[in-house]
Amino acid sequence: MAKTGSPGKSADWNPAAYARFRSLRLRPALDLLAQVGDLPKGQIIDLGCGNGAVGPALSMRWPDRKLIGVDNSPAMLAEAAATGAYRRCDLADLTEWQPKKPPALIFSNAVLHWLGDHATLLPRLAGWLAPGGTLAVQMPRQYGAPSHRFLREFAQEMFPDRFDFAGWEPPVAGAAEYARMLAPLGRVNAWSTDYIQRLDPVDGAHPVRRFTESTALRPFVEKLNAEEQAAFIARYEIALAAAYPPEADGSVLFPFRRVFFTVTVP
């Protein structure tokens, strides 16, 4: 399978575009945070902190802890640092990052789906925790939905020289699979939630396309020239209009599935 791009491997992220749906993207992070219990002494790591959206909530929950943001996007880290929530913001390749000291919490909201081999990655992250520490993770699991399936199907059909999804498997498993995977590491809590997101109408674009353009759509269009992008997006827009028809007020109801888990080590 040809890779369709991942954060830090191509052009930098656009913080303004990502923040357009800040409240919708923050809600799952807060739902994850609510399931984190008492922590031992140690630092809090916001792994893949992005623009720092969850930093203030982490800082408020543990005001006396050192909060460190880690991301591989300089533009996003600049936004995170500007929140004032972090003691430090570190630029790092998330596939190679490791803490200098055992943290009390590694909190990762909507980033680990960009990284492969979770069966190796997650035990490695949990292994860096202080005794009694927690790894808390949230990832989208939207890959079978029209919003994401169309991208793969159209890209492979229209540009087979750059996209090949033969044998492709979703990068995020179900909650039960993570519960089994992580059970040997400690106490696990795993679940999934389908959020019914109401997206406001926007000029010149289907609301779902506007939602995906800074995330799922981004790695596809980065491989296309301007003419190809226009053709690809036009086809995507037509398909989205059929899959997600507008409500009477022009808004769109957009179901979006996310998977969560926490694992607390002994």
The pLDDT assigned to 263 comes to: 98
The pLDDT assigned to 214 comes to: 86
Three-class DSSP category at 38: coil
Is residue 53 a contact partner of residue 19, using CB atoms and an 8 Å limit?
Answer: yes
The pLDDT assigned to 25 comes to: 77
Crossing angle (nearest 10°) for helices 226-243 and 146-158 = 140
Torsion of CA 77, 78, 82, 83, to 10 degrees: -20
Residues in the chain, pLDDT under 50: 1-10, 13-19, 21
Cβ count within 10 A of residue 87: 12
- What is the per-residue DSSP string for 194-250? EEEEEEPPBTTB-HHHHHHTTTTSHHHHTTS-HHHHHHHHHHHHHHHHHHS---TTS
The pLDDT assigned to 23 comes to: 67
The pLDDT assigned to 11 comes to: 53
Q: How many helices (H) and strands (E) does the chain have?
A: 10, 7
pTM attached to this predicted model: 0.89
Q: Which residue has the tokens 């200098």?
A: 100
